[in-house]
C-alpha cells in the first residue's frame, strides 16, 4: 500500500571518484545530479548501458558510496552522511542489496541453513525450533523446496538460479522494506531468468517491498518496473512509467537503446551501443549524449538539458524532446 511519503528519495545526488590522469588527480562523476523517489510496493527500473552509473547509484542508496553532494532520504530520514555501525546497520536492514553473482555472495563451506539461520538468529532473535522453522519458511518463500532438504545443501550443490534464491532469502531474513537488485538475473541461465523475476515480483506483493531494479535489459525493465529511469553518463535522460517509455520514448538515447535490443528478455540482450565511453569528468558541458546523438545541435554541446515533462509522469532531458523527429 502506498503512502504519500516515498520510502527512498534521492535529490540531486552526486557521487564522485578520484582518478589519476597525466594531468594529476581528477574527478569523475558517475552519478551526476540524479533525483528520484520510490515508494514501498513499487519498482523503479534503472536502465542504461555499461558504465552509465547504475551500480554506483544503487550502492549509494545503501551508503557503500558516500555522496559528494545531494541528499538521500530513507523512510523520511536523511541518511546521506550517516556514519557508524549502528546507523549504517539500521539503513542496511531497511534496504538490502541483491547482486549479479549469487556465488560470490555465498560462503562455499557453509550450508544453506547456516547462511540463513545466522541472519535469522541475529535479526529476528529466534533460537532452537523457532529458528529452524523460520529458516525453513524462508526457503519455502523463495521457492526452494523441499526446504528440509535444501537447508542441508552447500552452494556448489545448487544451480545458479537456486543460489540466487538463497541470496534473495538472505536479503529477506533481515526483513527489509526495500531491495536494490543489481542485475540479479543477468548471470543466470536464460531459461530461469523469468522465474527469478517472477519471484521478485511475488515478493514485492507479499511483503510490500520497494525495489530499485538495475538492468541492461529494457524488456525485463518493462516487465518488472512500474517506472523506468534511463541513465547515461550518470545523468537521467528519461523517466516515466515503463509502459509509456517503451511505447513512446522521448529521448534519442532511449530510442537508440530500444532499437538496439531485441526486446525479448529471455534472450541475451546486453546493450552494446557505445562507440566510446562517455566523458564523466567533472566540469563537462552540455548534454553527455550530444556527441553520439543524431539530432544534436549547438545548444546540446553548450547547455546541459534539464528534465522537462513530455507527458503525464513522463519527462526527458533533451533540448529537442518535443520535436517530432524519428531516428
Site residues (vs ligand ATP, CB under 6 A) = 17, 30, 48, 50-56, 216, 280
The CB-of-109 to ligand ATP minimum distance in angstroms stands at 29
C-beta atoms surrounding 282 within 10 Å: 13
Q: Which of 29, 55, 215, 296 binds Mg ion (CB under 5 A)?
A: 55
d(CA 177, CA 156) in angstroms, rounded, equals: 30
Look at residue 239 and give the partner it binds from ligand ATP, Mg ion, none, a contact being a CB closer than 5 to 8 Å depending on partner kind: none
d(CA 66, CA 91) in angstroms, rounded, equals: 13
Number of Cα atoms under 13 Å in the Cβ half of residue 58: 29
Nearer Cβ to Mg ion (55/261): 55
d(CA 252, CA 289) in angstroms, rounded, equals: 9
Q: Which of 220, 248, 212, 218 is nearest to 31 (CA)?
A: 212
Nearer Cβ to ligand ATP (51/160): 51
Q: Which of 212, 198, 316, 200 is nearest to 266 (CA)?
A: 198
CB distance 138 to 145 below 8 Å:
no
Look at residue 53 and give the partner it binds from Mg ion, ligand ATP, none, a contact being a CB closer than 5 to 8 Å depending on partner kind: ligand ATP
Look at residue 52 and give the partner it binds from ligand ATP, Mg ion, none, a contact being a CB closer than 5 to 8 Å depending on partner kind: ligand ATP
Nearer Cβ to Mg ion (151/214): 214
The CB-of-20 to ligand ATP minimum distance in angstroms stands at 10
Look at residue 240 and give the partner it binds from Mg ion, ligand ATP, none, a contact being a CB closer than 5 to 8 Å depending on partner kind: none
The CB-of-187 to ligand ATP minimum distance in angstroms stands at 11
Nearer Cβ to ligand ATP (50/137): 50
d(CA 66, CA 15) in angstroms, rounded, equals: 7
Please identify the residue of the shown chain whose CB is closest to the bound Mg ion. 55
Instruction: Give the 3-state secondary structure of residue 301.
Output: helix
- By CB under 5 A, residue 52 contacts Mg ion: no
Amino acid at each position: 500500500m502506498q503512502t504519500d511519503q516515498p520510502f527512498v528519495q534521492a535529490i540531486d545526488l552526486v557521487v564522485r571518484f578520484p582518478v589519476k590522469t597525466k594531468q594529476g588527480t581528477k574527478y569523475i562523476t558517475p552519478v551526476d545530479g540524479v533525483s528520484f523517489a520510490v515508494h514501498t510496493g513499487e519498482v523503479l527500473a534503472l536502465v542504461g548501458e555499461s558504465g552509465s552509473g547504475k551500480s554506483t547509484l544503487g550502492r549509494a542508496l545503501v551508503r557503500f558510496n558516500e555522496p559528494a553532494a545531494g541528499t538521500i532520504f530513507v523512510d523520511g530520514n536523511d541518511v546521506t552522511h550517516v556514519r557508524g555501525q549502528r546507523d549504517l546497520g539500521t539503513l542496511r536492514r531497511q534496504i538490502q542489496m541483491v547482486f549479479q553473482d549469487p556465488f560470490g555472495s555465498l560462503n562455499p563451506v557453509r550450508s544453506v541453513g547456516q547462511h540463513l539461520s545466522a541472519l535469522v538468529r541475529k535479526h529476528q532473535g529466534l533460537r532452537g525450533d523457532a529458528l529452524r522453522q523460520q529458516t525453513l519458511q524462508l526457503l519455502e518463500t523463495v521457492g526452494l523446496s523441499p526446504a528440509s532438504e535444501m537447508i542441508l545443501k552447500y552452494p556448489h550443490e545448487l544451480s545458479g538460479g537456486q543460489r540466487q534464491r538463497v541470496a534473495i532469502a538472505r536479503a529477506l531474513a533481515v526483513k527489509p522494506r526495500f531491495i536494490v537488485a543489481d542485475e540479479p538475473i543477468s548471470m543466470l541461465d536464460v531459461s530461469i531468468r523469468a522465474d527469478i523475476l517472477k519471484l521478485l515480483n511475488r515478493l514485492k506483493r507479499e511483503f510490500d517491498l520497494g525495489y530499485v531494479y538495475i538492468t541492461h535489459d529494457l524488456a525485463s525493465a518493462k516487465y518488472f518496473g512500474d517506472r523506468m529511469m534511463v541513465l547515461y553518463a550518470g545523468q537521467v535522460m528519461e523517466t516515466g512509467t515503463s509502459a509509456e517509455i517503451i511505447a513512446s520514448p522521448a529521448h534519442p538515447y532511449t530510442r537508440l537503446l530500444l532499437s538496439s535490443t531485441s526486446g525479448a528478455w529471455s534472450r541475451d540482450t546486453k546493450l552494446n551501443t557505445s562507440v566510446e565511453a562517455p566523458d564523466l569528468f567533472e566540469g563537462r558541458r552540455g548534454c553527455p549524449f550530444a556527441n553520439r546523438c543524431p539530432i544534436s545541435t549547438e545548444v546540446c554541446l553548450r547547455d546541459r538539458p534539464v528534465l522537462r515533462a513530455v507527458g503525464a509522469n513522463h519527462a526527458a532531458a533533451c533540448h529537442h524532446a518535443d520535436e517530432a523527429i524519428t531516428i
